[in-house]
Structure 1
């Protein structure tokens, strides 16, 4: 059984969920304001879906407060 917290997504899915560009995602990661990627191979990285979705929800909540 797959735990929802362990679902991995690749960059195209991250871009679709966040509507951010690749460069924006990597810049935010560098600034510590976006979930870090996980290396699963020499040239393959993924993100945890629940972390990306939580980041999106946090941004929406912050916008509603403002």
Structure 2
């Protein structure tokens, strides 16, 4: 079994803030503000002090944000 197939069953990754910033283009303070306001996926702390995010949740959030930009709000 090679490395690629060994981890095929892993459905998601926990990603660091730096990767969240890279994927979203948002700054650290903006990410935490949006989390506080319920406008961004909440992070988790899986055993340490550093917060991680599920990559799928961050990418889903980005896709929804881009969809809003493309089609606009429903009741404009």
TM-score for both structures, normalised by structure 2: 0.79
Say how many residue pairs are matched: 65
Give the gaps of 5 or more residues in structure 2: 1-6
Larger mean CA deviation between 25-34 and 36-45 belongs to 36-45
Q: Is residue 45 from structure 1 mapped to residue 51 from structure 2 by the alignment?
A: yes
- Asked which structure has the greater RCO (Cα within 8 Å, sep 6+), the reply is 1
CA offset at residue 44 of structure 1? 1.9
Q: 1:57 aligns with which of 43, 46, 63?
A: 63
Give the gaps of 5 or more residues in structure 1: none
CA RMSD of aligned residues (A): 1.1
1:1-66 equivalences under 5 Å are 1=7, 2-4=9-11, 6-66=12-72
- Higher percent of residues as strand: 1
TM-score for both structures, normalised by structure 1: 0.90
Q: Which has the larger radius of gyration?
A: 2
- Higher percent of residues as helix: 1
